[in-house]
Amino acid sequence: SQTIHQWPATLVQPVGSPLSLECTVEGTSNPNLYWYRQAAGRGLQLLFYSVGIGQISSEVPQNLSASRPQDRQFILSSKKLLLSDSGFYLCAFSGTSVTGELFFGEGSRLTVL
């Protein structure tokens, strides 16, 4: 079966520090992968998506970046965190159905102080 995991689950970082969130998918090959952010009381905002290794599309300008070094690995990074980067970060992959529903990892809750 297809599964997705991301880590760490929770982190508290000072402003200006770097960030690395990692996500891996099992049970499928060449998935479409996504990073979303959910700020408190707001909807999910698509940050990046990837249709293959090394292929990254950015949805919004920001100080975050994403990389896909392997088929089933997706990484979200920042060199210097801002207060506004706080939020709930979710990795997701598309199912094999033609309707393209998403399945999410457990999420990473980031607090920038």
Give the residues lining the site for other proteins (CB under 8 A).
36, 41-44, 46, 49, 88, 90, 99-107, 109
Residue 96 token pair: 């094999």
Ramachandran angles phi, psi of 83, nearest 5°? -55, -40
Nearer to other proteins, 13 or 107 (CB): 107
Nearest distance in Å: CB 35, other proteins = 13
Nearer to other proteins, 49 or 74 (CB): 49
Nearest distance in Å: CB 15, other proteins = 23
Is residue 106 within 8 Å of 65, Cβ to Cβ?
no
Nearest distance in Å: CB 110, other proteins = 13
Nearer to other proteins, 26 or 106 (CB): 106
Is residue 37 within 8 Å of 47, Cβ to Cβ?
yes
CB atoms < 10 A from the CB of 110, how many? Answer: 21
Q: End-to-end CA distance of the chain: give it in Å, rounded.
A: 39
Nearer to other proteins, 83 or 101 (CB): 101
**How far apart are the C-alpha atoms of 73 and 30, rounded to whole Å?**
10
Nearest distance in Å: CB 52, other proteins = 15
